[in-house]
C-alpha cells in the first residue's frame, strides 16, 4: 500500500466530521487535537515523556494494521523518545469490536499491551471471533478478571470506541490503519523506516516553529 504523509491543517480548534450521536458540547470537548493526543482513557506505550506522540488507529482484523504494528514497535524502540497512543478503531467486523472491547477491558488489570500484541499476531484478515478468543486465552491475562471488568466498565469502553472512530473521521481518515505522527498524518502500511522518516520530519517541523 502506498505511503502517504500529509501536513496537519488543524490546531486546537474543534474538528469537523463528527460521528452521529455526539452533542455539540461533548464534541467541542473531545474533538480538539490535544484531546485526541492526550485522551486520558486511551492506552499508551513507549516513553510517557516522549517529545513526539504517535497516535495509532488500528483494527485487529486489518492485515495492514498487523503488518504495521511490529514495524511501529521497532521504530519506537529504536528511537526511545516516542509516546504511543493506541486508538482501537474496530470498523471492519463484529469480531473487530469484540477484540477491541476485550483489549480495552484488559487495561483495568494493566494488560492492554499483552492482549493488543496477542491479537495483532493472529494471522490472516477478517478472522472470526473464535480466533481472537483463543489468542486472548493464551495471552496470560486473568480471564475471570477480564470478564468482570468488561461487565463493569463495558459502557465506558463502548463510549471510548465510538470516540476513537469519531476522532478518526474528524481527522479525515478512512479505513485503517491510520497514524498521527506529531503534526503529520499517514495512512496505510508503514515499515520502520517510514515511521522513522516521519518522526524526523515531525521533529524538524517543531524546530522550525
* Each residue's pLDDT tens digit, 76-116: 999 999 999 999 999 999 999 999 999 999 999 999 999 99
Neighbours of 47 (CB within 10 A): 15
Closest CA to 98 of 70, 77, 122: 122
- Note the pLDDT tens digit of each residue in 147-205: 999 999 999 999 999 999 999 999 999 899 999 999 999 999 999 999 999 999 999 88
Quote the pLDDT of residue 152: 98
For 118-132, how does the pLDDT look when each residue is reduced to its tens digit (9 = 90+)? 999 998 777 789 999
CATH number reported for the structural domain that contains residue 91 in this entry: 3.40.30.10
Please report the pLDDT score of residue 126 as a whole number. Answer: 77
**Domain span at residue 133?**
4-208
Left if phi > 0, otherwise alpha if psi is -120 to 50, otherwise beta: which for 208? alpha
Q: What is the pTM of this model?
A: 0.85
Q: What is the pLDDT of residue 125?
A: 74
**pLDDT at site 205:** 86
pLDDT band at 1 (very low <50, low <70, confident <90, very high): very low
Predicted local confidence at residue 29, as pLDDT: 43
Task: Report the distance separating Cα 168 and Cα 173, nearest Å.
Answer: 5
First to last CA, the chain: 32
Confidence of residue 208 (pLDDT cuts 50, 70, 90): low
Q: Which residues contact 88 (CB under 8 A, 6 or more apart)?
A: 58, 59, 60, 100, 103, 104, 160, 161, 164
Summarised one tens digit per residue, pLDDT across range 2-34 is 344 443 433 322 232 223 222 333 444 447 889
Total count of domains within the chain = 1
Amino acid at each position: 500500500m502506498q505511503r502517504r504523509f500529509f501536513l496537519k491543517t488543524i490546531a486546537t480548534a474543534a474538528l469537523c466530521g463528527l460521528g452521529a450521536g455526539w452533542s455539540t458540547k461533548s464534541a467541542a470537548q473531545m474533538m480538539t487535537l490535544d484531546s485526541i493526543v492526550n485522551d486520558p482513557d486511551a492506552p499508551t506505550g513507549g516513553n510517557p515523556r516522549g517529545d513526539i506522540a504517535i497516535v495509532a488507529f488500528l483494527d485487529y482484523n486489518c492485515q495492514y494494521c498487523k503488518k504495521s504494528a511490529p514495524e511501529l514497535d521497532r521504530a519506537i524502540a529504536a528511537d526511545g523518545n516516542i509516546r504511543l497512543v493506541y486508538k482501537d478503531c474496530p470498523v471492519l467486523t463484529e469480531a473487530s469490536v469484540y477484540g477491541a472491547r476485550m483489549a480495552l477491558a484488559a487495561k483495568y488489570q494493566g494488560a492492554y499491551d499483552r492482549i493488543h500484541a496477542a491479537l495483532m499476531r493472529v494471522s490472516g484478515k477478517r478472522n472470526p471471533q473464535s480466533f481472537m478468543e483463543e489468542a486472548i486465552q493464551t495471552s496470560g491475562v486473568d480471564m475471570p478478571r477480564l470478564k468482570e471488568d468488561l461487565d463493569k466498565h463495558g459502557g465506558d469502553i463502548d463510549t471510548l470506541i465510538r470516540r476513537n472512530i469519531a476522532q478518526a473521521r474528524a481527522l479525515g481518515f478512512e479505513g485503517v490503519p491510520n497514524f498521527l505522527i506529531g503534526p503529520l498524518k499517514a495512512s496505510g502500511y508503514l515499515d520502520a523506516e517510514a515511521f522513522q522518516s516521519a518522526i524526523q520530519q515531525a521533529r524538524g517541523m517543531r524546530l522550525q516553529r
